[in-house]
Copies of this chain bind each other. A is one copy, B any other.
């Protein structure tokens, strides 16, 4: 069924070496030879056997993208971009989800047989440690997010401290004084949440406010349900908040739901800000003010960086700070 190099060689009356040269576009093939071989290649519809190529060359043309949850919109949107980018380089992306489970994450990233299939790895870590990563034997790794910083790896992130500072300042500028923080820091995701909490606290400090303990709610996950639970808790306070700074849009959307349930007007009674700029937040009612990281840039940087490594260039691990902007929408400015 599948035609082999050898068969093509026989048909064209040359050696497999020459056919391989033509298939792979090497220079040193006489024009006539090339034409003759190419004709046969086309005629029989030759398709290289990727497995054989991989076994021989040691490169599979596949990279793994490891994210906690593929169905969390932020990761789904990012995945889409990364698949598109990788494809432009002729690479296939295999998506692995870890559910943030430590054992599973280690297995996927460090675990032998599977991990060895991939030429490289783009990883959004949750609980895996720098030490784990250092003892990894496979190809290059590019890290996403803020869970692991300065570990000596290529790394793409945004300036979360600055972003949270900007978001908080936006709320302060609107006259809000009891700004609650949801998801700071959460059970998992300490890295991300800690940085965002820093920006939040810095902004408050600049306005000579201190964050009351009762307005800081940490959550186990960063899902809608967690945001809803946190909002319920906050709104039951004797002195409830007049604004919510949520560590991501899902939390914010969960909180928004509860605000509606309790008959609060958003943003009049309660302003809400999220992080991530997922599509849902653009269509919520009211639409969500959020920190919008440049996901296309993040995807492009991650893939480009990995490709460089794969080509053996640029041994110095680098941290890239991607762009973001505060997207002001109706959940803060009615």
Knowing A80-B70, A284-B284 are in contact, say whether A50-B113 is a contact too (CB < 8 A).
Answer: yes
Copies in the complex: 2
For residue A162, give the distance in angstroms from its CB to the closest CB of chain B: 27
Compute how far the CA of A256 lies from the CA of B62 in the bound complex, rounded to whole angstroms.
41
Whether B50 and A116, one on each chain, are in contact in the complex, defined by CB atoms closer than 8 angstroms, is yes
Any B CB within 8 A of the CB of A73:
yes
Knowing A47-B116, A50-B113, A285-B260 are in contact, say whether A80-B55 is a contact too (CB < 8 A).
Answer: no
Most buried by B among A51, A95, A282, A283: A283
Whether B83 and A76, one on each chain, are in contact in the complex, defined by CB atoms closer than 8 angstroms, is no
For residue A183, give the distance in angstroms from its CB to the closest CB of chain B: 16
Whether A279 and B116, one on each chain, are in contact in the complex, defined by CB atoms closer than 8 angstroms, is no
The interface residues of chain B lying within 8 Å CB-to-CB of A48 are 113
Any B CB within 8 A of the CB of A18:
no
B54, B73, B97: the one within 8 Å of A51 (CB): B54
Give the A interface residue count (CB, 8 A): 49
Compute how far the CA of A148 lies from the CA of B55 in the bound complex, rounded to whole angstroms.
37
Whether B112 and A51, one on each chain, are in contact in the complex, defined by CB atoms closer than 8 angstroms, is no
Whether B71 and A79, one on each chain, are in contact in the complex, defined by CB atoms closer than 8 angstroms, is yes
Whether A49 and B45, one on each chain, are in contact in the complex, defined by CB atoms closer than 8 angstroms, is no
Smallest CB gap from A81: residue in B: B71
Any B CB within 8 A of the CB of A319:
no
The interface residues of chain B lying within 8 Å CB-to-CB of A280 are 253, 280
Any B CB within 8 A of the CB of A69:
yes
The interface residues of chain B lying within 8 Å CB-to-CB of A55 are 49, 51-52, 55
Knowing A50-B113, A283-B257 are in contact, say whether A80-B69 is a contact too (CB < 8 A).
Answer: yes
Q: Which of A86-102 contact B (CB under 8 A)?
A: 92-97
Compute how far the CA of A155 lies from the CA of B47 in the bound complex, rounded to whole angstroms.
29
Any B CB within 8 A of the CB of A2:
yes
Smallest CB gap from A285: residue in B: B260
Q: Which of A283-304 contact B (CB under 8 A)?
A: 283-287
Offer 25 A-B interface pairs, CB within 8 angstroms, sorted by A: A1-B137, A45-B112, A47-B113, A49-B55, A50-B116, A50-B117, A51-B54, A51-B117, A62-B94, A70-B70, A70-B95, A71-B77, A71-B79, A71-B279, A79-B95, A80-B97, A83-B95, A83-B97, A94-B94, A95-B95, A228-B283, A253-B283, A254-B283, A257-B284, A284-B285
